[in-house]
Amino acid sequence: MAVASAAQTHTTPFWRRRSFIQAATGWLFAAPILIYFTIFVFGPILASLAMMFFKWNGFGPLTQAEFVGLGNVTEVAGDEKFLGSFRNTFVYAIVVVGSGVIVGLMLALVLNGVTKFVGFVRSTYYLPVMLPMTAMALLWGLMFQVRYGFLNQILSFVNIPPVRWLINPDIALYSISLMVVWKGLGWYMVIFLAGLKAIPEEYYEAARVDGATGWQRFWKITLPLLKPTLLFVIVVTVIGSLQVFSPIFIMTQGGPANATNVVVYWVYMTAFQFLRFGYATTQAVYLFAVILVITVIQLRLFREGGLTSYY
Amino acid sequence: MSATTTDTSVSTLEPTGRARQLAAIRRLRALRWIGGQFFLWGVILLGLVFMVTPGVWMLLASFKTQAEISAIPLQFWPTQWRVNNYVETIEVMKFWRVFGNSLIITSCVTIANIFTCTWGGYTFGKLRWPGRDIMFMVLLSTMMIPGFLTLIPRYVLVAKLGMLNSYSGMIIPFLTGTFGIFLTKQFMLGIPDELIDAATVDGSSALGVYWRIILPLSKPIMAVLAIFVFDWAWDDLLWGIMILTDRLKWTLPIAIANLRVQESNQYELQMAGSTLAIIPVIILFLALQRHIVRGVALSGLKG
């Protein structure tokens, strides 16, 4: 019998076999996704790398693009305006992520200490996260008005002289950061709160029995156990912040004196205002390379030594 | 003798002394707890005011006159509720047209993502086929690639396909997403294989399993996906200003951004426009806030 059935499976045509059907089904299901990604992700990535070496106005036929070799790459390295936007982007990302993480974590700790109305409070803090950035940027642009803006009028109640929020080149980038942190705070808080809830209460009780102070409990229990959450939040928000566009486009258009000029805004301008598509792509690749390095460093930093040395 | 007398005196005193001590400690603890709660709620309320005030101010400003908005000292309430601001804004922004464009584009992108991401989650999470894990890693690696890197080639592609100034140019490049596929794949680990095997034994094809088992069981993750994709697509500005140059094709974010240029001195119109733009999001938020906050925590922890 066994021999007979073995012989029978052997004579089954391969397209009837279970393993073949499974493989064919899988690839058939995956095919549309893989094709889509090839067209809209992998293709454009390769095109980006190729476009770096061309000078092209974006509208003529691609065959008329002029090969410039490393011309774009060397130009980027010495382009003061681009390098300035690069600096601004990083200052912005550090300020936004740094204050978001610190204030968001503090708020989560506070909210973790109360039991009533948690759902309501959490939702209210989260609301601005959902609101469209374009509308909020327009609103804050008005609130930042120097003479009669809402913020300066509030500050005048406590006798603080008017702040030139978006006009002073030294603080314009920080003003925008303030608005972005306000909008994003709820996101940080909700994620940290979920991370805090996942820490078993027994750890804290054991520490309390051992006589650990609140401060010690935070550094020895909360922070180490929150490490995966922190890593996730920082990696995601750094990558997101480095791509900031909407608030800059609406509130300052890169001004005053290029103080809020950021890379993605400048890439957009280079391509669509100055019609230098090859050069704009080179700028984007430049930022991407740096993001890649930073992400790898972040992942390493968290894995060994660095922030986790207190483990 | 003297020792015993002191002993008795202590022992007679002790119970009341200890009770008093315990009561004192309890009172101190209660006081400290109340003080702690007082402090925590102080911080929370301060934060709530900070989070809510800008929105309230925007709503009030949308009913004021230009002069009231820029009055010194601050005028918080409008003297007269000018509903006319909205009428004017709707006309200036071509609101209904723009709103309709946004609604069509965002709905298409959202619905498409619900199906493509669950499809991807099923393909990479439940189907068994050679090469699956390698292919999934390849897809996952694109999560490291920020959108702006491919911005210009994608624009060129869409332009060459003749999709400038069209809905398809806003929809087709965003039909699916790596993060959504990843999220649903994680979710599907929770769907028991036995269910799928049973359906297969009963003669269901892989397509049938997707339609009759995976989709109905994926409703929670579909809700999370829908919220995030909708919120993201509703707010997209950069791709819109690249693709849509024709005013009649504009989406809400473009029209809002344009208010600042076109009506640079009409603050009341800017605020009315902003308020109009957030209404759909507020409705979505109020209807689904439980899913939203849970979804954030879920995707945050799993990501």
Count of Cβ atoms closer than 10 Å to residue A281 Cβ: 30
Cβ of B231 and A193 within 8 Å?
Answer: no
End-to-end CA distance of chain A: 63
Q: Lowest-pLDDT range, A138-147, A206-215, A279-288?
A: A206-215
Check whether residue A157 and residue A118 sit in a common domain.
Answer: yes
Of A72, A94, A117, the one marking the end of a domain is: A72
Whether the per-residue pLDDT at B239 is higher than 50: the answer is yes
- Tell me if A171 sits within 8 A of A260, measured CB to CB: no
Check whether residue A119 and residue A251 sit in a common domain.
Answer: yes
- Residue of B37, B95, B129 to mutate, testing the A interface (most A Cβ within 10 Å of its Cβ): B129
Give the CA angle between residues A73, A77, A281 to the nearest 5°: 45
Backbone angles phi, psi at A165, to 5 degrees: -45, -60
Spell out which residues of chain A touch residue B281, defining contact as CB-CB under 8 Å.
130-132
* pLDDT for position B1: 41
Q: Is B127 on the interface with A (CB under 8 A)?
A: yes
* pLDDT for position A100: 96
Q: Lowest-pLDDT range, B5-14, B210-219, B289-298?
A: B5-14
* pLDDT for position A73: 85
What mean pLDDT comes out for the span A182-198? 91
* pLDDT for position B5: 45
Question: How far is the alpha carbon of B28 from chain A, nearest alpha carbon, in Å?
Answer: 17
Distance (Å, whole) CA B102 – CA B211? 29
Q: Which two tokens stand for residue B135?
A: 């292919």
Give the structural domain span for A62: 15-72
Cβ of B278 and A111 within 8 Å?
Answer: no
Spell out which residues of chain B touch residue A127, defining contact as CB-CB under 8 Å.
51, 55, 282, 285
**CATH number of the structural domain spanning residue A232:** 1.10.3720.10
Q: How confident is the model at residue B4 (pLDDT cuts 50, 70, 90)?
A: very low
Whether the per-residue pLDDT at A112 is higher than 60: the answer is yes
Q: Which two tokens stand for residue A256?
A: 């005053």
- Residue of A20, A29, A89, A264 to mutate, testing the B interface (most B Cβ within 10 Å of its Cβ): A29
Cβ of B253 and A113 within 8 Å?
Answer: no
Q: Is B253 on the interface with A (CB under 8 A)?
A: yes
Per the domain annotation, does A243 fall within a domain?
A: yes
Q: How confident is the model at residue A311 (pLDDT cuts 50, 70, 90)?
A: very low
* pLDDT for position B303: 31
Per the domain annotation, does A37 fall within a domain?
A: yes
Whether the per-residue pLDDT at B121 is higher than 90: the answer is yes
Check whether residue A275 and residue A171 sit in a common domain.
Answer: yes
* pLDDT for position A14: 79
* Residue from the list B127, B152, B285 with its beta carbon closest to the beta carbon of A130: B285
Per the domain annotation, does A154 fall within a domain?
A: yes
Check whether residue A43 and residue A187 sit in a common domain.
Answer: no
What mean pLDDT comes out for the span A190-202? 88
Check whether residue A283 and residue A177 sit in a common domain.
Answer: yes
Q: Which two tokens stand for residue A159?
A: 């006798």
Spell out which residues of chain A touch residue B43, defining contact as CB-CB under 8 Å.
107, 110
Distance (Å, whole) CA A227 – CA A236? 14
* pLDDT for position A84: 92
Check whether residue A154 and residue A124 sit in a common domain.
Answer: yes
Q: How many CA atoms are closer than 13 Å to the CA of B114, on its beta-carbon side?
A: 18
* pLDDT for position A308: 39
Of A27, A56, A72, the one marking the end of a domain is: A72
Q: Per this entry, what is the length of chain A?
A: 311
Whether the per-residue pLDDT at B229 is higher than 50: the answer is yes
Whether the per-residue pLDDT at A61 is higher than 90: the answer is no
Check whether residue A50 and residue A159 sit in a common domain.
Answer: no
Q: Which two tokens stand for residue A203?
A: 């750890």
Per the domain annotation, does A1 fall within a domain?
A: no
Nearest C-alpha neighbor of B239 from the set B140, B143, B144, B150: B150
Question: How far is the alpha carbon of B146 from chain A, nearest alpha carbon, in Å?
Answer: 7
Per the domain annotation, does A4 fall within a domain?
A: no
Q: Per this entry, what is the length of chain B?
A: 303
* pLDDT for position A137: 94
* pLDDT for position B141: 84
More confident residue, B191 or A11: B191
Q: How confident is the model at residue A8 (pLDDT cuts 50, 70, 90)?
A: low
Distance (Å, whole) CA A129 – CA A186? 6
Q: Is B274 on the interface with A (CB under 8 A)?
A: yes
Whether the per-residue pLDDT at B7 is higher than 70: the answer is no
- Tell me if A256 sits within 8 A of A168, measured CB to CB: yes
Per the domain annotation, does A3 fall within a domain?
A: no
- Residue of B113, B119, B144, B148 to mutate, testing the A interface (most A Cβ within 10 Å of its Cβ): B148
Check whether residue A266 and residue A146 sit in a common domain.
Answer: yes
* pLDDT for position B167: 93
- Find residues 150-179 of chain B whose CB sits inside 8 Å of chain A: 150-157, 173, 175-176
Whether the per-residue pLDDT at A157 is higher than 50: the answer is yes
More confident residue, A13 or A304: A13
Check whether residue A37 and residue A150 sit in a common domain.
Answer: no
More confident residue, A295 or B244: B244
Check whether residue A60 and residue A85 sit in a common domain.
Answer: no
Per the domain annotation, does A42 fall within a domain?
A: yes
Cβ neighbours of residue A215 closer than 8 Å, sequence gap 6 or more: none
Nearest C-alpha neighbor of B109 from the set B295, B288, B214, B240: B240
* pLDDT for position B299: 63
* pLDDT for position B15: 59
Per the domain annotation, does A92 fall within a domain?
A: yes
Of A32, A56, A72, the one marking the end of a domain is: A72
Residue of A nearest to B172 (CA): A40
* pLDDT for position A28: 93
Q: What is the average pLDDT score of chain B?
A: 86
- Tell me if B298 sits within 8 A of B225, measured CB to CB: no
Cβ neighbours of residue B158 closer than 8 Å, sequence gap 6 or more: B164, B169, B172, B173, B243
More confident residue, B15 or B146: B146
What mean pLDDT comes out for the span B205-216? 90
Q: How confident is the model at residue B298 (pLDDT cuts 50, 70, 90)?
A: low
* pLDDT for position B158: 92
Question: How far is the alpha carbon of A40 from chain B, nearest alpha carbon, in Å?
Answer: 6
Q: How confident is the model at residue B179 (pLDDT cuts 50, 70, 90)?
A: confident
* Residue from the list B74, B135, B153 with its beta carbon closest to the beta carbon of A44: B153
What mean pLDDT comes out for the span B222-244? 90
Check whether residue A93 and residue A42 sit in a common domain.
Answer: no
Highest mean pLDDT among A87-101, A217-231, B74-88, B178-192: A87-101
Check whether residue A278 and residue A294 sit in a common domain.
Answer: yes
Q: Which two tokens stand for residue B145?
A: 């690639």
* Residue from the list B51, B129, B149 with its beta carbon closest to the beta carbon of A285: B149
Distance (Å, whole) CA A298 – CA A306? 10
Q: How many CA atoms are closer than 13 Å to the CA of A234, on its beta-carbon side?
A: 22
* Domain count along chain A: 2
The size of the A-B interface in CB pairs under 8 A is 265
Whether the per-residue pLDDT at B297 is higher than 80: the answer is no
Whether the per-residue pLDDT at B9 is higher than 50: the answer is no
